Amino acid sequence: MIKVQTGQIVEFYSNSCSVVSEGEEFKCKIRGRINLVVGDMVEIEKISNNDSLAGLVTKRLDRVTALFKSKEKVKKPIAANITHIGILVTQSPKTNLEFIDKWITISINASIEPFIIFNKIDLLTNDEFKEIQKIYEDLGIKTFQISAKLRTNIDVLKEYLLKKTAIFVGNSGSGKSTLTSAITGKKILSKALSNNQGVHTTSLSTLYNINEMQIIDSPGVRDIDIDHLKLKEIILGFPEIMHHSLNCVFPNCSHQIDDGCAVKTALKNGDIKESRYNNFIFLSNQEKIR
């Protein structure tokens, strides 16, 4: 009788994956056309192999959460069962606030908790992140100031990540790989796998199990579009705007006119930050023209 085991995908390739199950790592083929990503919980069948642990993925279990990228409103999963998304922010290269607000919107719509990591603080003077940090802490979003290169405040971040499954997102040059290396203690390099045909395929993403935390490293999340989100979903990423919008005179208010718009009134009163309002309008208008 074939033994079926439950495990988690820790590396995913174009035609195979690695699965950790019962404390062992199996190199697995995939039965049929199962849509799989790193972080997925799966059922596998062990395959007799004298050289290494081998298996066959036969079923994907239900995902608690999933992170998607989209193109022309077609969604494709990137990673699964994530609990937290860490948004990397740097002054050089400069991270714009639209990037932050978009990823907060993505996180909330995926039922994943966002937090913000201000990186490269060793290059800054006079609390250059302080004003931005206050905007998001006032919204209840957790923030950290670190230097991944110098390992400054990495232990504080590690403590926060205990018993969580996190993925880091950031623009090119923000230090995502350096941070992942600092936390996991591993050099983040592409890996290769040989299949029976002798073809080498490069790992697309990897899940690291380190000291009661899981870190997913995936090249596919540098920046993604949100064209699969509707207006009613975009506003979820701006809870302060959604709160005031409930008091608008007109139910279909665009929040771009003064008459009867509670959002515009809150903006004038300073209850909504101008950068947040502008990014909400920008993302909402992008949805309208798609």
What are the angstrom distances between the C-alpha of 112 and each of 44, 107, 109, 220? Answer: 27, 5, 8, 17
> Contact, 135 vs 273, CB < 8 A?
yes
Q: What is the pLDDT of residue 286?
A: 76
Q: What is the pLDDT of residue 13?
A: 84
> Contact, 38 vs 216, CB < 8 A?
yes
Q: What is the pLDDT of residue 51?
A: 64
Cβ neighbours for 254, distance < 8 A, ≥ 6 positions apart: none
Query: From CA 56, how far away is CA 143, in angstroms rounded?
Result: 41
Tell me the three state secondary structure of residue 86: strand
User: What pTM did the predictor assign?
Assistant: 0.90
Residue with tokens 């208010």: 253
Per-residue pLDDT of the chain (290 residues; tens, 9 = 90+): 578 899 999 998 878 999 999 999 999 999 988 999 999 999 999 887 666 789 999 999 999 999 988 776 778 899 999 999 999 999 999 999 999 999 999 999 999 999 999 999 998 877 779 999 999 999 999 999 999 999 999 999 999 999 999 999 999 889 999 999 999 998 765 343 333 433 334 457 899 999 899 999 987 676 688 888 899 999 999 999 999 999 999 888 989 987 899 999 999 999 999 999 999 999 998 765 55
Tell me the three state secondary structure of residue 150: coil
Residue burial 111-145, b: 16+ Cβ < 10 Å; e: rest: ebbbbbbbbbbeebeeeebeebbebbeeeebebbb
What are 79's two structure tokens?
């990673």
What are the angstrom distances between the C-alpha of 9 and each of 15, 20, 207? Answer: 13, 7, 8
Query: From CA 151, how far away is CA 106, in angstroms rounded?
Result: 28
42, burial (CB in 10 Å: exposed 0-12, middle 13-18, buried 19+): buried
Q: What is the pLDDT of residue 52?
A: 74
Domains identified in the chain and CATH numbers? 4-60 (2.40.50.140), 66-221 (3.40.50.300), 231-289 (1.10.40.50)
Q: Which of 59, 39, 42, 7 is nearest to 204 (CA)?
A: 39
